[in-house]
A = this chain, B = another copy of it.
């Protein structure tokens, strides 16, 4: 009633969208987002999402951890905490990162609401509109969205089955600078990259670090999957080799539980104060409750064994996916063979538009993410990301088989159309 009267009182309602800031033009829905509503229907085999598989996490144990936490330390866990993050958890994060060769000081860590928030804050501190950010081709859709919101210009650097190609990085730097544009940083995911699943070998890490130092470009190393290597341990983190020129982003979303939203940034000392201030402005402080849940878990539970259980669970699924791709995908398709993480990247013949193919896949009860979601420049139209992290091996086989059928049919149809 009152709403209506106000509307008539003042004539047409005022449109908030006419008052948006310039940067709001970059706030656009991602390709993945629109898909998820459909892909989450139970009858669809979703090879689209990147949700960790929590079936290996003992819920009785987690319930015990949080119960004990509140009973023994509830007045701290339920209170505001430090903007930088809880000191005890920051110490424990140093132990976690030591597994990948990083020697860090807890004072250089800022805990964030998932590592997505760290990415947002780094962007906020560094990106002026028009600045160039270099990323892998393809790259993480959530990072592309954040860079776009800060009005960065994203330039992709070519990859092969060993990740970013150092010579392509050199060429990209040269050509961007020849065009008179400013490069702010290189963003990459060296381990089991999202969306390709590939892992950057140690020698390329060193070479890329050298290129970036020489070119005075700093590196943002995003490493959510580093401890999820199935076949052999991952190479040392890039941050292990260079503590001055690398900002390292870590996360417990894939190794403990994503619903806690706890990630972190390990940064060069000169950046820490700015990062804390930016985070305080953004969220005041991260949740003591979720931080201390993780801290108690790390202190009292066999977390390394738990990560090994996750690896075993994902390895079985990875194997199921690779086997069924061999069986059911057309000979013209190629795909990556990830040694860890959640994803396989598939390239199809160039005439297949994976975005246009989606409705047919949904009819066949399978979902994936079209490749062009992972490019800022519209490429990727004949590629797709398949994730094996969440469904059972049986469902993965079923989904890959159905998808292979859809693709073959489309190739046939196209072949006919071309004849």
Contact = CB atoms under 8 A, between A and B. Distances in A.
B283 A113 contact: yes
A145 B281 contact: yes
A126 B68 CA distance: 43
A179 interface: no
A79 B50 CA distance: 11
Nearest to A116: B284
Interface size bucket, A side? 35 or more
B277 A27 contact: yes
A140 to B, nearest CB: 11
A281 B51 contact: no
A3 interface: yes
A120 B3 contact: no
B257 A124 contact: no
Given A70-B63, A127-B21, A149 B278 contact: yes
Copies of this polypeptide in the complex: 2
Given A145-B281, A270-B15, A79 B51 contact: yes
A113 B81 CA distance: 13
A114 B213 CA distance: 38
A15 B244 CA distance: 9
Interface stretch (A285-293, A345-353, A393-401): A285-293
A261 interface: yes
B280 A33 contact: yes
Contact of A66 (B66, B75, B243, B274): B66
Interface string A37-68: 00000000000000110110101101110111
A57 B29 contact: no
Contacts of A273: 29
Which of A19, A28, A55 has the most chain B CB within a 10 Å cutoff?
A19
Contact of A59 (B6, B30, B71, B241): B71
Interface in A296-331: none
Contact of A274 (B10, B27, B75): B27
Interface in A250-278: 253, 257-261, 268, 270-271, 273-274, 277-278
Contact of A261 (B13, B257, B286): B286
Nearest to A144: B281
Contacts of A15: 270
Contacts of A259: 76-81, 287-289
A74 interface: yes
